[in-house]
Amino acid sequence: MFDILEADIVVFQETKIQRKDLSDDMVLVPGWDCYFSLPRYKKGYSGVAIYTRQSVCAPIRVEEGITGVLCPPNSSTPFCDLPPDQQIGGYPTKEQLEKSPIDAAALDSEGRAVLLEFPAFVLIGVYSPANRDETRDEYRLGFLNALDARVRNLDAMGKQIFLTGDLNILREELDAANAEASMRKQGLSGFEFVSSPSRRLFNQLLGDGKVFGERDVGREHPILHDICRAFHPLRKGMFTCWEQKVNARPANCGARIDYVLCSLSMKDWFDGSNIQEGLMGSDHCPVYAVLGTTVRLRSKQVHLQDIMNPPGMFVNGNRQRQYSANVDILPMSARLIPEFTGRRNIRDMFTRAPSMSQVRENGKPGRQVASDEVSASNAPLSTTTSLPCSTTSQSEEIKSPEQRSRKHMRAPTTTSTMNKRLKSTVTSAGPKEARKGQQSLQSFLKPPTNEATACTNGFGQATTEPQEVGMSMTEKKD
């Protein structure tokens, strides 16, 4: 799957699993780290997961939830109460949370957000509540208010934001099939359509969002940029979700509710963005954005990898040290869950990184394989570990231990049989050169010889073998 997506950061929403459902295939993915937020109470519901490719990027902090009231693994201290150097920050204030009747713990109990901080930006992977019935309206608006507050607070701290996921919000009429017919059916004008509570909140967050009238207090300025729409400003039918019950996907009767958004200061960082509507397997399709290899940060052009990894791992785009599972793995990594910690994927057992001297002696390019645990001191300084291809010639056949064992086990059996036929005893004699083929008829006319040559089998035991290669009189009678 990761090979198909060709991405270095992959964000999943609506995983619908519990912790007990996590398996090796989900957690121990070679060359990747993963971070999960799973629902606390409901089964088969919600859930967010983020995977990062170790050879390209490594976060410096990871948190679960929007409000900061959840605790890190093996800790009773909420994220919002950790020392400043251990927290991402930007948590909604008490005043901001009072806008919702739902308390913070309940907002973060459904596994709807994972936050990763890189030196470049804070990545927020989110699964926003859907608008299915009125019973969830308070929870939905409470979650969106908390998300809006977190984004704005992070921006006020000077941190850049990359927000992505299933937001379950339509921006405007262009983002839904048959939007005009639907509005007529509901008796809504265009103004009323974009001014619903969730759409108004969302559009006030976007730089080009449609906002009618004065902006709300605390939302005077836009923060985010709609990357995909910016690359396709007038494109119709750019939908990311389709109703499965009526098989709406073949006719492309859907909606755009999945987004890749970034801080306004980052909008020039991207080389492209689009949807992958041809990738099946869900009622949603992936949305992606492609970052440039160099970006402008604080009035200076920098290599992207320098700011997508812990300080010092890359300098000017060149790797200075390898990713280390002992140093760079974070407490929120699923690899540290007791069921998986200290274990490896079975494929890793057959992957061995050669030393630098071996690579130089080989002199041939090998296939590139990503390693999930790379030693900072022993591995070559590259983004992947080089594994030379092994070649076997006919003259130097490599035998397995089982093959070698079978060879040694057969030798004494053959010798024992021949000894019984010859009824010979072991005598000391110097080695004689074996004759090539039948030289004369003398061997048929003279009596059988009792001379034998002592040899050693693979287990260090003395055995006897006939001196002559040709057929003996005893063998002829048999």
State the helix-helix crossing angle for 197-205 and 137-156, rounded to 10 degrees: 10
- The band of 477, judged by pLDDT with boundaries at 50, 70 and 90, is very low
Answer yes or no: is pLDDT of 358 > 70.
Answer: no
**372 has binding-site annotation:** no
Among 1-5, 146-150, 298-302, which range has the highest average pLDDT?
A: 146-150
Phi, psi of 269 (to 5 degrees): -80, -15
Contact 327, 351 (CB under 8 A): no
Which tens digits make up the pLDDT trace of 268-308?
999 999 999 999 999 999 999 999 999 999 889 999 999 99
The rounded distance, in Å, linking the Cα atoms of 55 and 43 is 34
Cα–Cα nearest to 109, from 135, 81, 152, 142: 142
Element (H, E) at 271: strand 270-275
* pLDDT top residue among 19 and 123: 123
Q: What is the pLDDT of residue 181?
A: 86
DSSP-derived letter for residue 321 is S
Question: Which tens digits make up the pLDDT trace of 53-66?
Answer: 999 999 999 999 99
14 marked among binding-site residues: yes
CA quadruple 246, 247, 251, 256: dihedral, nearest 10: 80
Of these residues, 51, 91, 127, 288, which one is catalytic? 127
What is the percent of the chain with per-residue pLDDT over 70, rounded to a whole number?
Answer: 71
Cβ neighbours of residue 181 closer than 8 Å, sequence gap 6 or more: none
Where are the strands (E) in 54-112, listed by range? Answer: 61-64
Q: What local confidence, expressed as pLDDT, does residue 395 receive?
A: 34
Whether 284 is catalytic is yes
The predicted structure's pLDDT at residue 220: 95
226 is in an annotated binding site: no
Amino acid identity of residue 147, one-letter, is L
Could you give the maximum distance between any two Cα atoms of the chain, in Å?
A: 122
Average pLDDT over residues 357-385: 32
- Is residue 232 part of an annotated ligand binding site? no
pLDDT the model gives residue 423: 47
Query: What pLDDT, on a 0 to 100 scale, did the predictor assign at position 349?
Result: 56
283 is in an annotated binding site: yes
| Mean per-residue pLDDT, 369-383 | 30
pLDDT recorded at residue 41: 87
For the question of residue 166 being annotated catalytic, the response is yes
Give the other-Cβ count within 10 Å of 162's Cβ. 24
pLDDT at position 469, please? 36
Q: Using CB atoms within 10 A of its CB, is residue 387 exposed (0-12), middle (13-18) or buried (19+)?
A: middle
pLDDT on residue 104: 96
Report in angstroms the alpha-carbon separations of 208 from 31, 199, 258. 38, 13, 17
The C-alpha atoms of residue 195 and residue 176 are separated, in whole angstroms, by 16
* 245: CB partners within 8 A, 6+ apart: none
Q: Tell me the per-residue pLDDT of 296-306, one tens digit each, with 9 for 90 and over.
A: 998 899 999 99
pLDDT tens profile 421-469: 444 444 444 444 445 444 444 444 455 554 443 343 333 333 333 333 3
- 166, 175, 328, 372: the active-site residue: 166
CA distances for 63 relative to 80, 254, 349, 399, angstroms = 10, 33, 31, 51
Q: Is residue 68 left, alpha or beta, with left meaning phi > 0 and alpha meaning psi from -120 to 50?
A: left
Q: Is the pLDDT of residue 72 over 80?
A: yes
- pLDDT tens for each residue of 101-125: 899 999 999 999 999 999 999 999 9
Q: How confident is the model at residue 188 (pLDDT cuts 50, 70, 90)?
A: confident
The CATH number of domain 2-336 is 3.30.750.24: no
Record the tokens describing residue 18, joined without a space.
């519990």
pLDDT of residue 1: 79
One-letter identity of residue 205: L
* Banded pLDDT at 350 (limits 50, 70, 90): low
The pLDDT score that the predictor gives to residue 228 is 98
User: At residue 321, does pLDDT exceed 80?
Assistant: yes
Question: Could you report the per-residue pLDDT of 223-247, keeping only the tens digit for each?
Answer: 999 999 999 999 999 999 999 999 9
Q: Is 324 exposed, middle or buried (0-12, 13-18, 19+ CB in 10 A)?
A: middle
Among 259, 284, 306, 328, the active-site one is 284
Q: When comparing pLDDT for 356 and 21, which is higher?
A: 21
Query: Tens digit of pLDDT for each residue in 387-423?
Result: 233 333 333 333 444 444 444 444 444 444 444 444 4
For the chain, the domains span 2-336
Section 41-58 average pLDDT: 93
Contacts 24+ apart (CB under 8 A), 83-90: 86/61, 87/61, 87/63, 88/61, 88/63, 88/115, 88/117, 88/122, 88/154, 89/153, 89/154, 89/157, 89/159, 90/122, 90/150, 90/151, 90/153, 90/154, 90/156, 90/157, 90/159
